[in-house]
Amino acid sequence: MAQTKRKPDLHAISNSKPTPSKDDLKKFYRDMLLIRRFEEKAAQLYGMGLIGGFCHLYIGQEAVVTGITSVQDTERDSVVTTYRDHAHMLACDMDPRMVMAELTGRIDGYSRGKGGSMHMFSKEKRFFGGHGIVGACASIGTGLGFAHKYKEDGGVAIVYNGDGGANQGQVYECYNMAALWKLPILYVIENNKYAMGTSTTRHAAGELYKRGEGFGIPGEQVDGQDIFEVQRAAKQALDYIREGNGPYILEMMTYRYRGHSMSDPAKYRTKEEVSSWKDERDPIDKVKRYMLEEEGMSEDRDLKLIEKEIKQIIKETEEFAQTSPFPDESELWTDVLVSAEDQA
């Protein structure tokens, strides 16, 4: 019988004893910092009117996708997520310049400027979107897992969804099929406490990580602000899945510092609440502290070097996204169908 597990007190600093190497730590720090700086730059470009429409930022949640990606098999596994997707693309090693160029609606964007913030894909990096309809990625991700099993390619589908999306009916239709057919799928619920402006206490009955219990899918609630915990839990879940046991649910307890999208002033929560997460539980600060205090790494040599590298990447990203041309008008008509001519 599958088990569900839960940490007794999520707000307590995790007492797990990580043993990451110095290189692992540097990579954690680098990858999370890249996401944060990228998102801050996106917010700035949005403010300048260079990015339009909806733009959902991931600031605060960086440890979730970074920790999981650190233990996935990037050659075989596939990833799908919601519209809060920039970080997942960066974690999948997609080119930040092309992601940002899509945000600015330019021809060098991943979708040639036709998708925007919420709709980007990379077949090469096995990133399957970027989906704008809440809950849809759960079904699509179940199909990715179905295909891994059908093709016997050893891959696992890593399917990100939010706490809001966790209430969609199709999620349970998919839990049922995934468990029935033992599909290789890691369902990640990024619980950032708010479905747009409605808190989990007002939109979700019971615990999200337990919602697979009726189907026999094990679930675990994890401190999503602690990358060591995220990594540990993801590794354990992926091992379980790769052994052929079927799907697994990880509920990542996390927090977004910004509003739901750029146009959300986030008045449904207090300043104190936001700053307590920022000040006490920031995932990047946690790794930084660990590097300095536990590992005795040097702020000047180790951290500054990384910060400088990220700064340079963001600078190039911004420049690229602002100078890449707008799509030619002929692009309006292309890519609606795969044409016989395209295939020849």
Partner 1 sequence: MPTQILMPALSPTMTEGTLAKWIKKEGDTVSPGDVIAEIETDKATMEVEAVDEGVLGKLLITEGTEGVAVNTPIALLIGEEDEDQGPTETKDSQKEEKILSSNSPAIEPSNSPNRDILYAQGAVIEPPAFNEAAFTDMYECTVREALRDAMAEEMRRDDTVHLLGEEVAEYQGAYKVSQGLLDEFGSKRVIDTPITEHGFAGMAVGAAMNGLRPIVEFMTMNFAMQAVDHIINSAAKTLYMAGGQLGCPIVFRGPNGAAARVAAQHSQCYASWYAHVPGLKVVSPWNSADARGLMKAAIRDPNPVLILENEIMYGQSFSAPKDEDFVIPIGRAKIEREGTDVTIVAFSIMVGKALEAAKKLEEDGIHAEVVNLRTIRPLDRWTILQSLKKTNRLVTVEEGWPFAGIGAEIAALAMEHGFDDLDAPVVRVCAADVPLPYAANLEALALPQIDEIVQAAKKVCYQ
Pick from 96, 105, 113, 218: which binds partner 1 (CB under 8 A)? 113
CB 164 → partner 1: shortest distance, Å?
16
Q: Is the dihedral of CA 127, 129, 134, 137 positive or negative?
A: negative
CB 233 → partner 1: shortest distance, Å?
24
How far apart CA 79 and CA 144 sit, in angstroms, is 8
CB 201 → partner 1: shortest distance, Å?
23
**CB closer to partner 1, 294 vs 299:** 299
**CB closer to partner 1, 95 vs 295:** 95
**CB closer to partner 1, 3 vs 333:** 333
Which of positions 203-262 make contact with partner 1 (CB under 8 A)?
257, 262
Which of positions 290-309 make contact with partner 1 (CB under 8 A)?
308
Q: Does 343 bind partner 1 (CB under 8 A)?
A: yes
Pick from 26, 36, 86, 232: which binds partner 1 (CB under 8 A)? 36
Question: Residues in contact with partner 1, total (CB under 8 A)?
Answer: 87
**CB closer to partner 1, 113 vs 246:** 113
CB 30 → partner 1: shortest distance, Å?
15
CB 20 → partner 1: shortest distance, Å?
25
Span interacting with partner 1, options 65-73, 118-126, 189-197, 225-233, rule CB under 8 A: 118-126
How far apart CA 49 and CA 322 sit, in angstroms, is 11
Pick from 8, 169, 206, 296: which binds partner 1 (CB under 8 A)? 169
Residue spans of alpha helices (H) in the chain: 22-47, 62-69, 86-91, 96-103, 136-151, 169-180, 200-203, 227-240, 271-280, 283-289, 304-323, 340-343
**CB closer to partner 1, 156 vs 233:** 156
The residues, any chain, with a CB within 8 Å of residue 156's CB and separated by 6 or more, are 72, 73, 76, 77, 78, 145, 148, 184, 185, 186, 238, 241, 242
Nearest to 1 by CA among 179, 183, 250: 179
CB 248 → partner 1: shortest distance, Å?
17
Cα separation values, 229 from 15, 22, 149, Å: 9, 17, 28
**CB closer to partner 1, 228 vs 257:** 257
Nearest to 90 by CA among 30, 132, 136, 141: 30
**CB closer to partner 1, 245 vs 261:** 261
| Other CB atoms within 10 A of residue 50 CB | 17
Pick from 71, 107, 196, 297: which binds partner 1 (CB under 8 A)? 107
Token output for 176: 């049922």
Q: Does 46 bind partner 1 (CB under 8 A)?
A: yes
Q: Does 120 bind partner 1 (CB under 8 A)?
A: yes
Under 8 Å between Cβ of 276 and 225: no
Token output for 240: 């379980």
Q: Does 17 bind partner 1 (CB under 8 A)?
A: no
Q: Does 148 bind partner 1 (CB under 8 A)?
A: yes
How far apart CA 311 and CA 289 sit, in angstroms, is 20
211 DSSP 8-state letter: T
Q: Does 289 bind partner 1 (CB under 8 A)?
A: no
For residues 24, 225, 97, 93, the Cα torsion angle rounded to the nearest 10 degrees is: 40
How far apart CA 185 and CA 102 sit, in angstroms, is 29
Q: Does 32 bind partner 1 (CB under 8 A)?
A: no
Pick from 5, 13, 53, 276: which binds partner 1 (CB under 8 A)? 53
Span interacting with partner 1, options 19-27, 45-53, 65-73, 236-244, rule CB under 8 A: 45-53
